[in-house]
Amino acid sequence: MDLFALEELVIVLAASVLIIYLSHKLKLPSVIGFLLTGVLIGPGGLSLVKNTETVNILAEIGVVMLLFTIGLEFEPARLKRIQ
Closest to 52 (Cα-Cα) out of 13, 16, 2, 8:
8
Closest to 22 (Cα-Cα) out of 8, 6, 37:
37
Burial of 54: CB neighbours in 10 Å, binned 0-12, 13-18, 19+: buried
Closest to 49 (Cα-Cα) out of 33, 83, 67, 57:
57
pTM value surpassing 0.95: no
Distance CA 25, CA 15 (A): 15
Q: pLDDT tens-digit profile of 20-71?
A: 899 889 998 888 888 888 888 888 788 888 777 877 887 898 899 889 988 8
